[in-house]
Amino acid sequence: MKLSSPFTAPRKRHLVTSRRSVLAGLPASLAGLALTSPLWDRLLRRAYAQTASQQRLLVWYTADGTVPEWFWPATPGTLSIRSDRTNDLSGKSFNQDVPSGDRPGFILQPVASYADRMLLVKGLDNPGEHDHAPAVRSCFTGEAASGDASGSAPSLDVLMAEVHATDAHAESIFRTGVYGNRVSYDGTRDVSRPRGRDYVEPSWQPIADARRVLDVVSGVVPDNGNGDAASRTKSRLAALGSVKDRVAALRCAAGTPAAERLEAYIEEVARLEKLEGEAPPTTLPTEPLVDADDPDVLAAQSDIKRLPTVSPFVRDLAVTALALDYSPAVTIQWGASGTNNIQNGKLTDYRYDFLPDLEYPGAGDHGLAHPEDGAFQDAGHNITKEVATRDRVRIYRWFFSELKLLLDRLASIPDGAGTLLDTTTVLCVSEFGGPNANSTAGQHSTSDLPYVLIGGAQTPFQTGKSMSVNASHGDYLLTLARGFGSTETSMGVGKSLIDGILR
């Protein structure tokens, strides 16, 4: 591994088709739509373009790191993740029954089909304080945080958006997430930080986040909290229908591929509203099948027992925000950690209790990451290292199964001559990682942070390999920022670029 100076000039980016040339080739109805709506102006230009130029970033944050011996490949080099290993995680001995040679990369098995698009970099260390809040606050900024001192570097999503956000985007970064405010304390939810400002949490209300996206897409005035949900949904559908009626005009003006791309973008709105999928593309379904005001999803976003109900909605929402160019960067926070969720001796972090083979319900991220912790033993719970290992493998495998579904969706949406996945970088982030993570001695290790990068064919990163380095997490994040075109010369403790990551 070699570190190099970050002072080299950033790469030149592809030129975007000019607005004037696009509008000149459109019929009056479509040109009028583009002129009156910045978002549809952008979508029409994307549909018209033969090549995709927009880089996108999707951040996937999960708490409390990983189980390193079940995560990292055995050796660096070309990345191959076996898909033929057991999926049977039942019983109380699978951690011993699985041969030791089958354990490396086991957690990543759900995304094995995307190994050629993945980059794993082992040896990235955060030199800051080894505790929840400082580690979370620095895992995406590159700082070495200690106590309340977390430095000032902006997070990677902010640096990426500074390069790629335009006036046509509704938000430079779209942040969403679930349950973090229910299972953590202040500081352990601080992942994304704007330049010169304090950290920004998601709303922890994905339904409200979805309505915000839909309102911008359809031109509905943002809700002040007093609007009639049924009327607002009707207005959204009417706006969507007026666009669908113009797809045929685009097909005549720009050809079938362009129309198909626009139809795909429109379908993202329909999907978020859960409209009838079988309806012809130029007609408007009369009512949503399940819309963003669905009481079941609305309840699930606040009930930590119902993660499987709300997670598909969050996945679709993130993809839709990218597909519709609502934002160039999306950050999902799947909860947070740092709190012992114990009430009257009962463990109350129920987020993962839906997993059929979970051995210690209610323990959550924090309880399982702290086996043999005194607070749990005082409450009458002896969570052993063996139980923690098995349950954490089950949980992290589930998260990567969810990620696989998101990647499949990105790969199904046309963009330029390829798909949305081709121009999207997905970065999995967590604050802890390294040796003996399931032992009392290494509960808060910030060594070997388990970043996972999944980059499309047109992203600026080398993929299909695993690397071994000796560098700071700041060097890694700075390297990614430079790949996105940032001219930043440092990110916290990161002062050098890591060779072998950028194309």
Q: Name the phi and psi angles at 59, rounded to 5.
A: -100, 135
pLDDT in tens, the chain (503 residues): 556 554 444 333 333 334 344 344 444 444 444 444 566 666 666 665 656 668 999 999 999 999 999 999 999 999 999 999 988 999 999 989 999 999 999 999 999 999 999 999 999 999 999 999 999 999 999 999 999 999 999 999 999 999 999 887 889 999 999 999 888 888 899 999 999 999 999 999 998 888 888 777 665 544 444 445 555 555 444 555 555 555 555 555 555 666 677 677 666 666 655 533 333 333 322 232 224 666 778 888 989 999 999 998 899 889 888 887 889 999 999 999 888 889 999 999 999 999 999 999 999 988 898 877 788 888 899 888 889 999 999 999 999 999 999 999 999 888 777 889 999 999 999 999 865 545 555 678 899 999 999 999 999 999 999 999 999 999 999 999 999 999 999 999 999 999 999 99
In single-letter form, the type of residue at position 393 comes to V
What is the bridge-based pairing of β-strands 329-334 and 56-62? parallel
CA 300/CA 310 separation, integer angstroms? 6
CA 200/CA 191 separation, integer angstroms? 8
CA 34/CA 190 separation, integer angstroms? 37
Mention every residue, 6+ apart, whose C-beta is less than 8 A from residue 246: 29, 30, 33
Asked whether 489 and 469 are in contact (CB, 8 A), the reply is no
The token pair at 279 is 């309806």
**Could you tell me the CA-to-CA distances from 364 to 23, 332, 336, 367, 484 in Å, in that order?**
53, 19, 10, 6, 35
Which residue in 46, 2, 17, 57 sits closest to 483, CA to CA?
57
Q: What is the per-residue DSSP string for 13-55?
A: PPPPPPHHHHHHTS-HHHHHHHHH-HHHHHHHHHHH-SS----
DSSP secondary structure letter of residue 405: H
CA 346/CA 467 separation, integer angstroms? 43
Q: What is the per-residue DSSP string for 285-301?
A: -SS-SS-TT-HHHHHHT
Quick: pLDDT tens for 213-259.
Answer: 877 766 554 444 444 555 555 544 455 555 555 555 555 555 566 66
Q: Is the dihedral of CA 252, 257, 260, 261 positive or negative?
A: negative
In single-letter form, the type of residue at position 469 comes to V
CA 432/CA 336 separation, integer angstroms? 12
CA 454/CA 464 separation, integer angstroms? 9
Mention every residue, 6+ apart, whose C-beta is less than 8 A from residue 3: 471, 475, 496, 497, 498, 499
In single-letter form, the type of residue at position 223 comes to D
Q: Is the dihedral of CA 326, 328, 331, 332 positive or negative?
A: positive
Quick: pLDDT tens for 447-494.
Answer: 999 999 999 999 999 999 999 999 999 999 999 999 999 999 999 999
Using H for helix, E for strand and C for coil, what is the string for 55-74?
CEEEEEEECCCCCHHHCCCC
Which residue in 31, 37, 35, 14 sits closest to 169, CA to CA?
37
Mention every residue, 6+ apart, whose C-beta is less than 8 A from residue 344: none
CA 481/CA 246 separation, integer angstroms? 39
